[in-house]
C-alpha cells in the first residue's frame, strides 16, 4: 500500500530485527519443553473426549495418571492403551472415564505405537482440512458480501442456547464476526468443562460442544443471509492449546491468542504461557484460524499517549512469535485500541496516527481495532459520539477487524438492541465515507505523520532496551503494561515439563512439517 506517513522503512526493519533477536531465546526454551495442557491438547487432537462421573475430562484423567512421566509425552501412553485394548478411540475414552489407568499398562512395540498414532494424525488432518475447505468455499461463494472492516460483536449470556439466539440476531442485523465471551475466570481453570453449559458469569464456558452448537447456528444464518459469519472464542489462559484444538475441530474462524496477555493480565507463569502459545498457534495456523492479539489491554493500565510505543512493540513481538508458529500475515489479527482520553487536545489526530501507522507497518495483517472502553462513563450520548469517531478512524485507516463499541459500555452486558444500534452506527458512518481514505493525504510534517514517526522511534529504542535485558527479565521489571510478573511465580508453573530424549508427539511433528517449521 502507498504510505501516507513517510515512515522510515529502515527503522521498521530495525524493529523487526530486534523482535527476532528478542524472541529467539524464548523460542529456544519453548522447543525444549511441554506442558500439561500441550499434552492434553495433543490427546484431544487424537480424539480423547468425554468425562468421568465427576465431570473430570478424559484428557485430564490421562495426564493426571502420568504425573512424573510426561517427559515422554502423554500420547505415547494413550496410543499404547488403544493398541492394548483393541477397541476404537471412543471405546478407549469410555474405559478411561470408567477408571482405566493408562499408566499401568506396559508399553508395547514402539513401531506399532507409531503406526497407530499415524492413523490418528491422518484422521485429525482430514477433518481439519475439510473444515478449512468448507470455510474457504463459503467465503468464495459469498465473496464481497462482508463489511470492510469486518464488524465484530460479542455475546455473553452464560447460557449457550441463549447465546445462539443473540448471535443469530446480531448476524442478521449485519455482524460479520461473533465472539462468545468466556465465563469469568475460565482462563484460570486448568481443565476444559465437558458438554453444553447453561450457567456462567459474564460469559459462557468455552467447551467443544458449545463450539459445535454455535457453529451450527451461525451456519444456518450463512445460508439465509448469503454472507459468511466468522465465529470467535478465546484460546488463552491455562488451556490455551486445548481451546485451539477444539476450535480447529469445530471450525472456529478466529481465536484471541496473545503471546503475553495471560502473563500480564492473568498472572499465568511466563514459561508456561510461552510454551502453550506456540503449540496453540501452530494448530491455528494449520486450521486457517485468524488470531487476535491483545495489545488493547495495555492501554487499560497504561496511558495510551505515553505508552503507545509498547503497543507497537508488542505487535512486532506477536508478529515474530506468530511467524515462528507458521502463521502467515493474513492470519495475524494484531491488536490495538481507540483508548485515548477524549478530552485530549488533538486526540483524534493522535488516534488516527496510531491506527494508520499500524496499517502501514503491517499491510497484510487483518488488524483488530478495539473500541473506547476506558473513558466510557455511562453517558450514552457521549458514548455514541466516541464510538462514531472510532468507526470513522477505523474506516479511514483501513482496519481489518472492527470490534463495535457499545452505548452501554460500563453499564451492563449488551442487550440485543445495544448491538443493533452499534451495528447501525458503524454501517452508517462507514457507508457515508466509503471512499474518503482514497481522497485524502496527510501532511508530511503534520501532527499525524510526526506522531507516527515519534512512536515508531520510541518503539525501536524500547525494543533495543528489551533486547539488552531479555524478554522475560523485561516482563519481570514491568516494562509492559506497567505490570511486574516474576518468572518463577504465577499460575500453572507446576504444569511445565522438560521434554525427554524419547519425547513422542507426532501431532507436533506433523504440524511442523506441514507449516514448514
Each residue's pLDDT tens digit in the chain (517 positions)? 678 999 999 999 999 999 999 999 999 999 999 999 999 999 999 999 999 999 999 999 999 999 989 999 999 999 999 999 999 999 999 999 999 999 999 999 999 999 999 999 999 999 999 999 999 999 999 999 999 999 999 999 999 999 999 999 999 999 999 999 999 999 999 999 999 999 999 899 999 999 999 999 999 999 999 999 999 999 999 999 999 999 999 999 999 999 999 999 999 999 999 999 999 999 999 999 999 999 998 888 899 999 999 999 999 999 999 999 999 999 999 999 999 999 999 999 999 999 999 999 999 999 999 999 999 998 999 999 999 999 999 999 999 999 999 998 888 878 889 999 999 999 999 999 999 999 999 999 999 999 999 999 999 999 999 999 999 999 999 999 889 999 999 999 999 999 999 999 999 999 999 999 9
Which positions are annotated as active-site residues? 261, 296, 368
SS3 for 336?
Answer: strand
Q: What are phi and psi of 202, to 5 degrees?
A: 75, 10
What does the domain layout of the chain look like in residue ranges? 146-448
Q: CA triplet 214, 215, 216: central angle to 5 degrees? A: 90
- Could you tell me the maximum CA-CA distance found in the chain, to the nearest angstrom? 73
> Which residues does 279 contact at the CB level (< 8 Å), separation at least 6?
38, 41, 241, 244, 508
Whether the CB-CB separation of 442 and 189 falls below 8 Å is answered with no
Assess if CATH 3.40.50.410 describes domain 146-448. Answer: no
Q: Is the whole model's pTM more than 0.95, yes or no? A: yes
Q: Do β-strands 332-333 and 33-35 pair in parallel, antiparallel, or remain unpaired?
A: unpaired
Q: What is the pLDDT of residue 494?
A: 96
Q: Taking Cα atoms as reference points, which of 111, 113, 103, 53 lies closest to residue 80?
A: 113
For residues 334 and 367, the answer to whether their CB atoms sit within 8 Å is: yes
The phi, psi pair for 262, rounded to 5°, reads -60, -35
Looking at residue 151, its pLDDT comes to 98
Q: How far apart are CA 370 and CA 152, in angstroms?
A: 10
The number of C-alpha atoms within 13 Å of 36 and in the hemisphere containing its C-beta is 23
> Residue holding cell 485430564?
60
C-alpha closest to that of 237 among 207, 267, 202: 267
Element containing residue 255 per DSSP (H, E)? strand 254-256
Q: How far is 180 from 280, CA to CA, in rounded Å?
A: 19
Residues 6+ apart with CB under 8 A from 11: 456, 457, 460
- The β-bridge partners of 293 are none
Q: CA–CA separation, 298 vs 340, rounded Å? A: 12
Give the pLDDT score at 413.
Answer: 79
**What is the residue-wise DSSP string for 52-84?**
-TT--BHHHHHHHHTTT-GGG-HHHHHHHHHHH
Q: Is 142 exposed, middle or buried (0-12, 13-18, 19+ CB in 10 A)?
A: middle
Amino acid at each position: 500500500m502507498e504510505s501516507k506517513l513517510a515512515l522510515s522503512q529502515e527503522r521498521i526493519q530495525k524493529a523487526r530485527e530486534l523482535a527476532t533477536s528478542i524472541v529467539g531465546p524464548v523460542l529456544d526454551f519453548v522447543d525444549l519443553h511441554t506442558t500439561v495442557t500441550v499434552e492434553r491438547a495433543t490427546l484431544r487432537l487424537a480424539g480423547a473426549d468425554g468425562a468421568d462421573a465427576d465431570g473430570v475430562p478424559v484428557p485430564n484423567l490421562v495426564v493426571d495418571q502420568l504425573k512424573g512421566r510426561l517427559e515422554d509425552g502423554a500420547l505415547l501412553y494413550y496410543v499404547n492403551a488403544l493398541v492394548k485394548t483393541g477397541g476404537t478411540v471412543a471405546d478407549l475414552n469410555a474405559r478411561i472415564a470408567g477408571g482405566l489407568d493408562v499408566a499401568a499398562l506396559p508399553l508395547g512395540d514402539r513401531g506399532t505405537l507409531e503406526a497407530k498414532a499415524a492413523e490418528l494424525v491422518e484422521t485429525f488432518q482430514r477433518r481439519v482440512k475439510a473444515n478449512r475447505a468448507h470455510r474457504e468455499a463459503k467465503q468464495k461463494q459469498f465473496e464481497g458480501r462482508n463489511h470492510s472492516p469486518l464488524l465484530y460483536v460479542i455475546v455473553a449470556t452464560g447460557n449457550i442456547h441463549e447465546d445462539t439466539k443473540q448471535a443469530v440476531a446480531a448476524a442478521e442485523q449485519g455482524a460479520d464476526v461473533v465472539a462468545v465471551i468466556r465465563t469469568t475466570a475460565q482462563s484460570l481453570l486448568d481443565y476444559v468443562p465437558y458438554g453444553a453449559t447453561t450457567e456462567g458469569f459474564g460469559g459462557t464456558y468455552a467447551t467443544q460442544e458449545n463450539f459445535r452448537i454455535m457453529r451450527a447456528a451461525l451456519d444456518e444464518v450463512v445460508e439465509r443471509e448469503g454472507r459468511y459469519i466468522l465465529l470467535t472464542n478465546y484460546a488463552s489462559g491455562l488451556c490455551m492449546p486445548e481451546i485451539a484444538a477444539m476450535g480447529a475441530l469445530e471450525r472456529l474462524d478466529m481465536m484471541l491468542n496473545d503471546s503475553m496477555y495471560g502473563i500480564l493480565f492473568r498472572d499465568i507463569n511466563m514459561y508456561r504461557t510461552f510454551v502453550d502459545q506456540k503449540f496453540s498457534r501452530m494448530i491455528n495456523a494449520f486450521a486457517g484460524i485468524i488470531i487476535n492479539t491483545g495489545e488493547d489491554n495495555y492501554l487499560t493500565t497504561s496511558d495510551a499517549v505515553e505508552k503507545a510505543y509498547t503497543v507497537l512493540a508488542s505487535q512486532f513481538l506477536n508478529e515474530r512469535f506468530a511467524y515462528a508458529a507458521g502463521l502467515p500475515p493474513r492470519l495475524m489479527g494484531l491488536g490495538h485500541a481507540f483508548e485515548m482520553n477524549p478530552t485530549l487536545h488533538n486526540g483524534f489526530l493522535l488516534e488516527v496516527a496510531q491506527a494508520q501507522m499500524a496499517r502501514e507497518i503491517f499491510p497484510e495483517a487483518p488488524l483488530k481495532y478495539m473500541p473506547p472502553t476506558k473513558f466510557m462513563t455511562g453517558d450514552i450520548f457521549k458514548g455514541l459520539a466516541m464510538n462514531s469517531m472510532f468507526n470513522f478512524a477505523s474506516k479511514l485507516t483501513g482496519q481489518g477487524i472492527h470490534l463495535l463499541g457499545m452505548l452501554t459500555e460500563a453499564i451492563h452486558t449488551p442487550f440485543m438492541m445495544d448491538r443493533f444500534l452499534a451495528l447501525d452506527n458503524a454501517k452508517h458512518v462507514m457507508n457515508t465515507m466509503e471512499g474518503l481514505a482514497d481522497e485524502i493525504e496527510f501532511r508530511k510534517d503534520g501532527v499525524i505523520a510526526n506522531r507516527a514517526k515519534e512512536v515508531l522511534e520510541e518503539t525501536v529504542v524500547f525494543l533495543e532496551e528489551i533486547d539488552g535485558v531479555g524478554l522475560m527479565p523485561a516482563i519481570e521489571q514491568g516494562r509492559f503494561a506497567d505490570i511486574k510478573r516474576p518468572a518463577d511465580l504465577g499460575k500453572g508453573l507446576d504444569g511445565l515439563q522438560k521434554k525427554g530424549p524419547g519425547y513422542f508427539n507426532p501431532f507436533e511433528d506433523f504440524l511442523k512439517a506441514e507449516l514448514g517449521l
